[in-house]
Amino acid sequence: MQIEHQVSLRSFNTFGMDATASRFVRCGSVDSILELLHAPIAGNLLVLGGGSNILFTRNVEGVVLKNEIRGIDIIDSDDEFVRVRTGAGENWHQLVCFCVEQGFAGMENLSLIPGNTGASPIQNIGAYGVELKDIFDSLEAVHIGEKSLHTFLAADCGFGYRESVFKSRYRNQFIITSVTFRLRKNPVFHTEYGPIRQELERMAVKELSIRAIAQAVINIRSSKLPDPSVIGNAGSFFKNPVVDHQQFVQIRSSYPDVVSFPAPDEKFKLAAAWLIEQCGWRGYRRGDAGCHEKQALVLVNYGNARGAEIRDLANEIVASVFRKFGVQLETEVNIY
């Protein structure tokens, strides 16, 4: 086990925050994780994947465990399904590309999401009408306290809208080491969401395929979202809020254009980006911290913003949305 000291985390988080880790350990196997957990330095541990859903507001006075477990394996298949197991340190989009290439369907709408496969169950990543839970089979994770490996099936993970037990009940208790996906050999296409159909038309796609959908999603995302290698960001900073029918009717009576979608249990999901825009934040910049000009849900670091500046801006946005609409925005990004 190689321990690095006083490591800058700037290149390890897509916000580009310049926090320092007192200690930094790369783990490429379950055994190396167990070795680290048995070592005296193991207290105050932060697990890091691709760093695309985290905002550092301070240094890490402990150990950053960089999960680098690799491997993509087809473990079994029948006429309908194939199961693919990945090491937690595999890049998410590379896995999607591999599956699309093999003709394994289900992940195509989740193309170009940054980060690693190990973090994908943590917030049940989702985009364009598909969530990780739709293709999830199981995962393996090391319990930090017990130093033992556990298997979780979907029913154990408490998947919800950008939620799982790993963000709530088991927060910071497990290190995910592998994730297994169950993908279809005969695709079921999801094109009803957002601008996918328009993009497929623009691409003049004659025969729908998972490859075409993946490309459409890649095109849309590339045209709309800031590339973290150019402008630091962690994607959507807030979740889309879900309100009950009564509150929805109240908001719509004052704001008939409110962007909303029906949600389970007769509730309504409001587009957080629209709420933020209505409060005048889209394109706002203070120093190097800002609210992206094309997508108000994305807070950005134009260069040398500090984590605390992004956090303060986020707090102001939350307060103004609450004042105007009476809706409480929740943060999606993990603030450290």
Contact residues for ligand NAP, defined by CB under 6 A: 126-128, 192-194, 224-225, 235-236, 240, 261, 271, 273, 295, 297, 332
Question: Which of 16, 50, 241, 290 touches ligand FAD (CB under 6 A)?
Answer: 50
CA distance 197 to 207: 13
Give the shortest CB-206-to-ligand FAD separation in angstroms: 27
The CA radius of gyration of the chain, in Å to the nearest whole number, is 20
What residue ranges in 123-239 does DSSP mark as E strands? 126-127, 130-131, 136-143, 148-153, 174-184, 232-236
250 binds, among ligand NAP, ligand FAD, none (CB under 5 to 8 A by kind): none
Residue 240: which of ligand NAP, ligand FAD, none does it interact with, CB under 5 to 8 A by kind?
A: ligand NAP
Shortest distance, position 253 Cβ to ligand FAD, whole Å: 32
Site for ligand FAD in 51-90 (CB under 6 A): 51-54, 67, 88
Give me the active site residues, please: 162, 236, 332
**121 is a contact residue toward ligand FAD (CB under 6 A):** no
- In the complex, least distance from residue 146 CB atom to ligand NAP, rounded to whole angstroms: 31
- Backbone angle region of 51, left / alpha / beta, with phi > 0 → left and psi within -120 to 50 → alpha: left
- Residue 271, number of CB atoms within 10 A of its CB: 16
C-alpha dist (Å) from residue 73 to 8, 108, 115, 177: 33, 18, 19, 14
Residues 7, 22 contacting (CB under 8 angstroms): no
Nearer to ligand FAD, 183 or 251 (CB): 183
Choose from ligand FAD, ligand NAP, none: what does 224 bind? Cβ within 5-8 Å by kind: ligand NAP
- CA distances in angstroms from 263 to 167, 240, 269, listed in the order given: 21, 11, 6
| Selection from 221, 210, 156 nearest residue 187 by Cα | 210
Specify the residue, 47 or 82, whose C-beta has the smaller distance to ligand FAD. Answer: 47
| Residues lying near ligand FAD in the complex (CB under 6 A) | 14, 46-54, 67, 88, 113-116, 118-120, 122-123, 125-127, 174-176, 225, 228, 233-235, 334
